[in-house]
A and B are shown apart, each in its own frame.
Chain A
């Protein structure tokens, strides 16, 4: 069994069940979208996949071995995470931020090697920030900051990349740019998304969560049906199947069989 896999993982916090028995197997190179409303367990599932959070029960495995046995450092050389919103008060250049991705590859006392420098340069090149490498990270725009974080993740040289709503704070142009970049990366990607249309455009496969449970799984065309959108998100939508991927058009709540807005 190669790759990253969550097997019936459960995470509880007090009485609340955040993730309830979700299984997810990743195929090499695919882009998997995690969908679901706020609080459906997307972030918690991603954190368990990254090994940052331990499942209450169930297990996350990397090439068949539980993450706890693989160890934090070795996991970080394989699995990289990009958070929703990165923030620091530390004064760092873009290159220094990207070089953080080499931390799991370097010993405590060993100076940076040519391989480290090469990985950082390649990551900067890939996200188009080579020209900004010497600049302060704080001078970057929101979209550029997220690209710098993706470059940092790429410097880890992962085979699995986990992204938690990376486009949340971006305008539409930068959302598309970022997802184009992510989809072009030669890694297996799991990405939590809010926007169903973006998910339909960029993901090979979707896993829909609701209240911590996996509701359905499949290609965007299989998953994104009016019935599912109504059931999971509580809104009505029309789905048309254009060339390539489905397109979702949401309907105003007032259109719901004459029911007034705000109900249901």
Chain B
């Protein structure tokens, strides 16, 4: 499936900002099931300094510095991506999870070594006893990894309430677990924490999800949203995605922007500015299927 993605972010400040620095993770990366056909980021006012490159995880990354006084900043990312679904996965045929955890202790090939980057606690993914206890309820001894991960996805979907405004990016996993409330990002952090507490490798994936209008209604431009889910490493299968917010294995309607250990590694826009006073951010995302 080919999509055109338009992601506009608009910052407005009460007073002029004299200088601002931003780091963007807004260009879709290439992934095994995804090709980025074209991508462009337009910034207004034009930044004095702009560097496009790749981060430690291979994600496209853009550094911007706007050095002229500005009271608003518009960042518009446009991309065309081609996404393929994963095909059928036999969850029950995957390796027992303890075996995979064992492989990660002493990785013998490049793929396993790369997976080790995602096997430990990270700034937004704390691991404690409660997380571990929640995890082992699905990860019973000898259970195939992917089957257990699917069940965990299911438990989060059914056991947690999706509610915005209760949490923010810095809400600890422990609080999400105890309040059983959060948004996609919190559920992704929780599931990543659970998998890592078992010694498994799990990524936080930042991206978009195609939304479908209610029956009989026309799709509104710009009403889509950023989304977050997870990916777990299992030999032979490779990285397999799970979406705890929607209780599914992502197919060709999930578009990947970037992956990392947690939100902090791949925040779509992270910025610091001098001056500005209070600020308002408005975001509009539009995911339009082309074929």
Instruction: Determine if chain A interacts with chain B.
Output: no
**Chain B contacts to A: CB under 8 angstroms:** none
